[in-house]
């Protein structure tokens, strides 16, 4: 089975998205990229995450061709492949419809740094221009919004996060959603205090040596 390790990861992390409350039903999608083989393993379209087995995960090339798997791949595969083509720092992608990030995305505004944990993905999280799901236009809009960042909001749609691994992308997804919740809640009480770019740059550097 091609990309067996990556397909196991996609199935495992898909269940984590549900368990952590980061998506609902069959919403969202995730993938892992193998740079040596130039192939990605991506979640299948419209299947309950708890029913997805590694063999159901689809292996594709970056031109949209299915290389192995008998299931229909996620309709958002172009949004994953454009990042793998153009970003050497991204080897895993998670797209979700988290409540608070999507709330901000429905306002069509960027998510500012109301908390330093946003430094995991950048100084802020830009909101990409709207386009229909599953289109090349949406993929291009997301790529543009993620320039210099590891995340973007998708206007009237959801959240997109990339990273060097699925573990990083999952953690970053959770933290962006946390900051989005803080932003929504503080905005309901008054005007949130935003951390300046200099301090966020400092946080980004410090995160490089954070953890074990």
Active site residue 76: yes
Contacts of 154 (CB under 8 A, 6+ apart): 95, 105, 127, 128, 130, 138, 141, 142, 160
User: How many residues would you count in the chain?
Assistant: 212
Q: Is 162 within 8 Å of 92 (Cβ atoms)?
A: yes
**Mapping DSSP to helix (H, G, I), strand (E, B) and coil, where does residue 16 land?**
helix
Q: How far apart are CA 25 and CA 105, in angstroms?
A: 20
**CB environment 170-195: b (16+ within 10 A), e (fewer):** bebbbbbbbbbbbbbeeeeeeebeeb
Dihedral, CA of residue 159, residue 49, residue 42 and residue 141, to nearest 10 = -20
Burial environment of residue 202 by CB neighbours within 10 A (0 to 12, 13 to 18, 19 or more): middle
Dihedral, CA of residue 142, residue 148, residue 152 and residue 154, to nearest 10 = -30
Catalytic residue of the set 6, 76, 177, 181: 76
Strands (E), the chain: 29-34, 39-42, 58-61, 66-68, 92-96, 127-128, 151-154, 158-163
User: Which residues participate in catalysis according to the annotation?
Assistant: 76
């Amino acid at each position: 089975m091609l990309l067996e390790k990556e397909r196991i990861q996609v199935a495992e992390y898909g269940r984590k998205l549900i368990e952590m409350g980061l998506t609902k039903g069959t919403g969202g999608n995730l993938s892992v990229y193998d740079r040596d083989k130039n192939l990605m393993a991506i979640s299948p379209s419209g299947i309950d995450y708890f029913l997805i087995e590694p063999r159901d995960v689809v292996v594709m090339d970056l031109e949209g061709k299915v290389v192995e798997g008998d299931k229909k791949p996620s309709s958002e595969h172009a949004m994953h492949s454009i990042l793998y083509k153009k970003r050497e720092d991204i080897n895993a992608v998670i797209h979700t419809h988290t409540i608070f990030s999507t709330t901000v995305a429905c306002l069509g505004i960027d998510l500012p740094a109301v908390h330093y944990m946003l430094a995991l993905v950048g100084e802020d999280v830009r909101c990409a221009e709207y386009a229909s799901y599953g289109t090349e236009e949406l993929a291009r809009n997301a790529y543009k919004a993620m320039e210099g960042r590891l995340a973007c909001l998708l206007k009237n749609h959801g959240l997109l996060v990339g990273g060097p691994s699925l573990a990083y992308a999952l953690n970053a997804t959770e933290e962006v959603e946390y900051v989005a919740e803080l932003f929504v809640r503080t905005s309901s009480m008054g005007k949130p205090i935003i951390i300046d770019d200099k301090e966020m740059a400092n946080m980004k550097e410090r995160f490089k040596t954070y953890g074990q």
